[in-house]
A and B are shown apart, each in its own frame.
Chain A
Amino acid sequence: EADIYQTPRYLVIGTGKKITLECSQTMGHDKMYWYQQDPGMELHLIHYSYGVNSTEKGDLSSESTVSRIRTEHFPLTLESARPSHTSQYLCASSDPAGQGSFGYTFGSGTRLTVV
């Protein structure tokens, strides 16, 4: 079954460290998204991509960066982690034209704690 994978599931890291959150999908979807979500709160779009070499910032300003060198891979990087970055990060993908479903498929998320 096609799916979308996020690693790690949980990460505790010290302030100032550089981290990369991984997201990969096996569905060949062109569109991919990163959301930030505090526990029990709404989703905030921080980055999205409509294909290889295409990345855009979302509605919520974020100090993170993303890259899209391959269709299946959409990693998110924090150059210098801070306690304010503590949150859950969710990756999603979609392919409205291909599947006609218009919905998103989500990964299980990475819960990041910066101490």
Chain B
Amino acid sequence: AQSVTQLDSQVPVFEEAPVELRCNYSSSVSVYLFWYVQYPNQGLQLLLKYLSGSTLVKGINGFEAEFNKSQTSFHLRKPSVHISDTAEYFCAVTTADSNYQLIWGAGTKLIIKP
């Protein structure tokens, strides 16, 4: 069975500093990987996804993530954060074995300090 671990429940960072949100997964089969963002009192919005091809994936709002198969990781990065990036970030994985249901991490709250 697949699982997703987001290693940090909260990440505080100063505005304009770089940030990395960590995500590790476990799966014995090929995976598709996602990062979603949730702003306060909102649903989830897709940031980026890895389906195949280049392991460096670029998404919206200046975010990018790198798929590392050997380390089973899919960390999310942004070189310079803004106060508007304050949100909860969720990593998710899916496979054909799960009938393409998304398996979710517990989320990481990104806190931007002015």
Q: Name the A residues within 8 Å of B43 (CB-CB).
A: 6, 90, 92, 106-109
With both beta carbons as reference points, the residue of chain B lying nearest to A90 in the complex is identified as: B43
> Which residues between 3 and 30 of chain B lie within 8 Å of chain A, taking CB atoms?
none
The chain A residues found within 8 Å of chain B, CB to CB, are 6, 31, 33, 40-43, 45, 48, 50, 90, 92, 94, 96, 100-109, 111
With both beta carbons as reference points, the residue of chain A lying nearest to B32 in the complex is identified as: A102
CB A109 to nearest CB in B, in angstroms, measures: 5
B45 pairs with A40, CB closer than 8 A: no
CB A65 to nearest CB in B, in angstroms, measures: 20
A43 pairs with B90, CB closer than 8 A: yes
Q: How many residues of B contact A (CB 8 A)?
A: 23
Compute how far the CA of A27 lies from the CA of B30 in the bound complex, rounded to whole angstroms. 27
Which of these, A42, A102, A107, A111, contacts B100 with CB under 8 Å?
Answer: A102
B102 pairs with A103, CB closer than 8 A: yes
> Which residues between 55 and 114 of chain B lie within 8 Å of chain A, taking CB atoms?
88, 90, 94, 99-102, 104-107, 109
Which of these, A42, A96, A109, A111, contacts B104 with CB under 8 Å?
Answer: A42
With both beta carbons as reference points, the residue of chain B lying nearest to A100 in the complex is identified as: B51
